[in-house]
Chains A and B, each alone.
Chain A
């Protein structure tokens, strides 16, 4: 029982982690909490649906997985379109507000953008749930008492791969280092000759792409719904804050902690209270460590 809940927690946690990375990155570089991050997950899932529907006639599956190469195309398309959407929202909504000295204006605007985007999804795709495939996946026992589907294993593996890739991007590449530098001190970055506008664009591309992948993976293993991102935004925030706002690794750790805690909570509580667990945990951690688990105080 505990093993199964732990596995479910890791699966949910991986999805939350991918979404929370984007959240923590925009917070770090643009200095505001973006409530529309959840909608990037939703749009990612629906963008992928377009590709999957377009290839509906193609029968291709990888081994035991429920999908084949159309899903690869769908993932790439979702990442590209979601990045574009994120850049568009930034250009239309956030960029003009960055000149304002009222920080909270950005946060409230992101709330508005979230609302607008969510209803746009309903308008385009309708309110009913959607699925990438109607095939039923058979779960296999990977450990005694722990059953997971091949898709769920893929989800965790892809998340791990993306996190490792992101680590290399941020620590080894010129652009990745410039992103960290801009997060550290935007004005100094400018004086140093870093094109901050370009860094901001890439922040949306990286954050948007990861959100899109998270949305597709969630859609693949649960279902696709217009409010899926909205339902995930609070756990995303809890994960980012719990792990330490601004820390990419903190967001990953926070995602896993939230995912596992929510799932283990059903041992003691009725599942209705699952979402509350994320917050109880977040509050508890912040009381002990106000900077979050991996967050560093400003030097």
Chain B
């Protein structure tokens, strides 16, 4: 059974103007699934509506069998969903450590063990833990953002374009961390522009176009699918 099940999701910012016009997808426990698509296809809207930030007009979403319905964003943590927005995903004026503490806000008791685990995953953040997160580099900020989301031990981690604005070297670094996170038992759903790099670490992928999922396949198959290249790049060609 899949961990996240999205059926015929209709969502958008204004009623009557849906951006998602019936999207269905599923993510199985332990998978990394990437959603690709050209600009304006509704990729970000899709993850935002799953994360409770965009009004949902129709369809059905369940996480681990529990309906998400129109749960407010701050309640989704409790059902095991952690979301990392594409931009503005860290508290810039708070220190790195405080960002992680805020990640653990819904939890009771001491957070030391969880914080230590995040620093194990991102040892490069350790020297900056007392510094304002807004002063860090783009790659370090992304790690703070992901680390913050991991504090609650989510079942599903949703990443909105984790590679946006990063240099190719940092993209590879962030994606290798995503893989490590999955290997530690967290299921990952991400949206990406950087199709090639994302598919290389993914198990499966979906291609979104005009508010619907157009193609779904194994990541390795998508990488060589000429139709993907066409949809994605707007020209004939393959990604590899």
A-to-B contact residues, CB < 8 Å? 174, 177-178, 180-181, 183-185, 187-196, 296, 299
Contacts and interface: CB of A to CB of B under 8 A. Distances in A.
Interface stretch (B16-24, B86-94, B121-129): B86-94
Most buried by A among B78, B102, B135: B102
B91 A299 contact: no
A177 B77 contact: no
17 contacts: A174-B101, A177-B98, A180-B91, A181-B102, A187-B53, A188-B90, A192-B102, A192-B148, A193-B74, A193-B77, A193-B105, A193-B106, A193-B152, A194-B102, A196-B74, A299-B134, A299-B135
B103 interface: yes
Given A177-B102, A194-B102, A194-B105, A188 B91 contact: yes
A188 B74 contact: no
A136 B98 CA distance: 50
Contact of B105 (A178, A184, A187): A178
If over half of A's interface residues share one DSSP class (helix, strand or loop), that class is named, otherwise mixed; here it is helix
B57 interface: no
Given A192-B103, A193-B106, A299-B135, A184 B73 contact: no
B147 to A, nearest CB: 12
A195 B88 contact: no
Bin the interface of chain B by size.
20 to 34
Contacts of B91: 180-181, 184-185, 188-189
Given A177-B101, A178-B102, A188 B89 contact: yes
Contacts of B105: 174, 178, 192-194
B92 A184 contact: yes
Given A189-B102, A192-B148, A193-B152, 7 more contacts: A174-B105, A180-B94, A181-B94, A181-B102, A184-B93, A188-B88, A191-B73
A178 B148 CA distance: 14
B74 A190 contact: yes
A187 B103 CA distance: 13
A220 to B, nearest CB: 36
Contacts of A299: 92-93, 132, 134-135
B48 to A, nearest CB: 10
A196 B106 CA distance: 12
Closest 10 CB pairs of A and B: A299-B134, A193-B77, A193-B106, A299-B92, A184-B91, A190-B73, A181-B91, A181-B102, A184-B93, A190-B74
A203 to B, nearest CB: 16
A190 B134 CA distance: 19
A12 to B, nearest CB: 30
B135 A185 contact: no
Nearest to A198: B74
Contacts of A178: 102, 105
B88 A296 contact: no
B85 interface: yes
